[in-house]
């Protein structure tokens, strides 16, 4: 008796929901949603990077009376002096060059070809394509006049000297969309395709090391990723060709402990041909990163089933309703909201997407 009562109650509940849905006005969305992914094999990106970090401190020879008695000693000025003396300097650490990569990533694209509108959301791009990049690193240093012993050389002051110091390694460079979805206008073309422009707000995340030390703190930096593209929509698929041209420059303070005794091999000046072995100590105060992106990205997308489309035919209709009602009170097919039971909530979601 209790089972029969529950069944009658469920049928009445279903009837009430159906009546409410069909008596209420239904909004039919013309947007078709596609899950899209970049095609690395045919996508290319060239990133021009210019990273500078000014710093100042002292340099001194690596001489040590006990552990390195044949090391280099530094003496201030042109004449006189003895021992091993710290020489004041100002400098900037610089990393520059081009990175060529095949980026990977994904986005969700809503297309309303009747209303001539697109919607971009959940964009996330690995601009390196998971392949770390290497760039040459240089210290541009300006010091007071000093001399060295072992080797013997004179270093006239007041001149900025670029000193190669190895490589900087970039292990992460990503762009991730922030905020709400962004919309763009579709411009029909004679061949049936559409052109569009959208500016996607993102945060850039760059993780890099140089001289064995992290460059910056790796914190996300706000920016904009402008996309200019061509869209071709099929029945259940979409293809995009995206062009990206963008320049960003940010300067941020660096809150890090001063560095000490980093080895710096400095070519001799007068006379030339030798190498003075110095130790560099100092304090980085800020970091400026300027990047220019030029990319051509190929994207392919498959149609995302509409909420309530249980049989995967991209239409929410009586066939889906039959599947839901056949499993009423159960689990699995028809559990649209994922709460573990097929109920009136799932029916409401289906009817909201009817058609």
User: What pLDDT is stored for residue 196 in this prediction?
Assistant: 97
User: What pLDDT is stored for residue 195 in this prediction?
Assistant: 97
User: What pLDDT is stored for residue 17 in this prediction?
Assistant: 43
User: What pLDDT is stored for residue 21 in this prediction?
Assistant: 44
Q: Tell me: the pLDDT tens digits for 270-306? A: 999 999 999 999 998 898 989 899 999 999 999 887 7
pTM of the prediction?
0.69
The full set of domain ranges for the chain reads 26-304, 305-355
**How many of the other CB atoms lie within 10 Å of CB of 345?**
14
pLDDT at 96 exceeding the cut of 70: yes
Burial class (CB in 10 A: 0-12, 13-18, 19+), 31: middle
Compute the 3-state secondary structure of the chain and give helix, strand, coil in percent, each to the nearest 5: 10, 55, 35
pLDDT band of 352, cuts 50, 70, 90: confident
Helices 2-23, 344-352: crossing angle, 10 deg rounding: 20
Q: Tell me: the pLDDT tens digits for 105-135? A: 999 999 999 999 999 999 999 999 999 999 9
User: What pLDDT is stored for residue 3 in this prediction?
Assistant: 44
The distance of Cα 1 from the centroid of its chain, to the nearest Å, equals 62
pLDDT at 26 exceeding the cut of 80: no
Domain 305-355 adopts which CATH fold? Type 1 dockerin domain (1.10.1330)
CA-to-CA dists, residue 206 to 9, 169, 286, 297, 334, angstroms: 59, 11, 16, 20, 43
196 against 30, higher pLDDT: 196
pLDDT at 327 exceeding the cut of 50: yes
User: What pLDDT is stored for residue 29 in this prediction?
Assistant: 52
Residues 6+ apart with CB under 8 A from 115: 30, 31
For range 238-258, the mean pLDDT:
89
For range 238-254, the mean pLDDT:
90
Burial class (CB in 10 A: 0-12, 13-18, 19+), 245: exposed
């Amino acid at each position: 008796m209790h089972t029969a009562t529950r069944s009658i109650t469920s049928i009445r509940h279903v009837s009430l929901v159906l009546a409410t849905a069909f008596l209420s006005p239904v909004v039919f969305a013309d947007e078709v949603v596609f899950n899209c992914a970049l095609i690395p094999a045919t996508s290319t990106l060239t990133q021009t990077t210019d990273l500078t970090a000014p710093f100042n401190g002292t340099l001194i020879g690596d001489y040590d009376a006990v552990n390195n008695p044949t090391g280099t000693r530094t003496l201030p000025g042109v004449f006189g002096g003895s021992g091993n003396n710290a020489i004041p300097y100002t400098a900037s650490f610089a990393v520059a060059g081009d990175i060529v990569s095949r980026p990977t990533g994904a986005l969700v694209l809503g297309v309303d070809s009747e209303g001539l509108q697109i919607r971009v959301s959940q964009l996330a791009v690995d601009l390196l394509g998971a392949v770390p990049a290497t760039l040459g690193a240089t210290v541009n240093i300006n010091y007071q006049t000093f001399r060295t012993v072992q080797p013997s050389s004179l270093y006239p002051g007041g001149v900025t000297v670029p000193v190669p110091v190895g490589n900087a390694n970039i292990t992460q460079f990503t762009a991730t969309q922030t905020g709400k979805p962004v919309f763009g206008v579709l411009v029909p073309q004679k061949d049936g395709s559409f052109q569009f422009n959208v500016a996607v707000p993102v945060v850039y995340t760059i993780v890099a090391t140089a001289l064995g030390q992290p460059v910056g703190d790796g914190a996300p930096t706000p920016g904009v990723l402008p996309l200019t593209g061509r869209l071709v929509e099929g029945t259940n698929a979409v293809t995009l060709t995206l062009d990206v041209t963008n320049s960003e420059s940010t300067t941020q303070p660096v809150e890090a402990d001063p560095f000490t005794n980093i080895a710096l091999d400095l070519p001799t000046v007068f006379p030339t041909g030798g190498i003075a072995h110095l130790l560099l100590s100092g304090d980085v105060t800020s970091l400026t990163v300027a990047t220019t992106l030029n990319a051509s990205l190929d994207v392919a997308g498959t149609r995302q089933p509409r909420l309530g489309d249980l049989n995967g035919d991209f239409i929410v209709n009586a066939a889906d309703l039959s599947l839901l009602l056949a499993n009423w009170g159960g689990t699995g097919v028809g559990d649209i909201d994922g709460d573990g039971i097929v109920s009136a909530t799932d029916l409401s979601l289906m009817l909201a997407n009817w058609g």
